Amino acid sequence: MKLSWLSVALLGAGAANALDVISVKGNKFFDSKGKQFFMKGVAYQLTPADPLVDAEQCSRDATLMKTLGANTIRVYHVDPKADHSKCMATFADAGIYTLIDLDTFDTYILPNDPWWNQTQHDRYAEVMDAFIDFNNVLGFFIGNEIIAMANQSQVAPFIKSATRDMKAYRDKKGYRKVPIGYSAADIAELRPMLQDYLTCGGREADNVDFFALNSYEWCDKTTYAVSGYANLQKTAENFPVPIFFSETGCNVPGPRLFDDQEAIFGPEMVNDWSGSIVYEWIEEANHYGLISYGPKVEPTVTGKNIEGGFTRAGTPQPVTPDFENLRSKWATITPKGVASSDYTPTDLSTRACPTSTKDGWLINGNVALPTVGETFQGTFTPTPTANPSDTGSAASPSSTKNPAPPNKEIAGMSIGLVGVMLIFTLWL
């Protein structure tokens, strides 16, 4: 019997819904049976536009990811108008959840010229609409490393505004409460303040549902104390929402041993962290890949599924020894969580909104958030003596700078969007 396109799509959606829904309680993720969920994930972005449209490629990759022991993938960019049902069903069949970024190449929030307008809002909503019905959507990112330098914290209220409005859209539509969070760069001067700011103020509707960190501080061989992870743990203790590594896996000096996974899932960190996403699936010029689809070719070579000197489709071949090192490590790690029925998040730390600092955190307390259409114009000078409406002791930097930032070939790119130009003052 020949099935219609709609029938195929519905069958794919049904298969993708075979997995338990993951939800947030306190600072942990739980499946529908009440078992705590920990991410063992990989970053997955084969092509700039959308890696979740080629059903055959998704099947090849999902099969090997299952062998690796992965249960989550992170996808940075998707086309909301494409059909994702087959790929989502394939990953669900392999027991793999997805984390999807809501921004697209032309809607990314700009750090040095921030605004949040209706065009951005509607495009983010389109991505949510396209994925909300799949049970194996674990969460949405409002952005990735929008703050990439120590002098860009002025954009933080716009990150929070986008989060607020996307959560409101989700709830207005009656959608499942898929958590919405942010993936931050590990900037020592800003990270402690940023993670507190995105969860402060007392209004859950304004705050992120989870906070994720792109960190490459653990470079084998090292230890929990020496790597900087002990410092990351200090600011994560009793955090009000789930916190996890949205990118990790330093490759300096190499090969990668992934010893950090023992710390993340071990007694030092497992009570506060919900796992990690290893960067990345495909081998590229930065040499962070776990697999390749063929030998490197000259950057000038063009052809189907070839970009930047690397083939981006075909039969995935493990990169030696990194793939096997990670597979072996994950195979020996079974994090011990808590049952939802035994967990009452009464001891979590409700963070105060940080005050500005001389090291570059520019937002002083619980500032008013911009509304749709507002654009910031002006310069910033930290004013630690100001009197914000909701102050708290500013957190002090507690980690080293990222020693090995990856040169991401596929990253969030932006073009200017025309919006209502209003002067927005962050200081109260």
Give the residue numbers annotated as catalytic, written as ranges. Answer: 145, 247
Nearest to 182 by CA among 216, 150, 148, 224: 148
Number of residues assigned to the chain: 428
In Å, what is the CA distance from 49 to each residue of 11, 74, 92, 306, 403? 25, 14, 21, 14, 29
| Alpha carbon distance 383, 368 (integer Å) | 16
Give 98's DSSP letter: E
Give one word for 314, left, alpha or beta, with left for phi > 0 and alpha for psi -120 to 50: left
| Alpha carbon distance 13, 125 (integer Å) | 19
**SS (HEC) of 114-147:** CEECHHHHHHHHHHHHHHCCCCCEEEEEEEECCC
Find out whether 387 and 356 touch, Cβ atoms under 8 Å: no
Can you name the residues that pair with 306 across neighbouring β-strands?
A: 303, 311
| Alpha carbon distance 361, 151 (integer Å) | 8
| Alpha carbon distance 403, 217 (integer Å) | 6
Find out whether 213 and 184 touch, Cβ atoms under 8 Å: yes
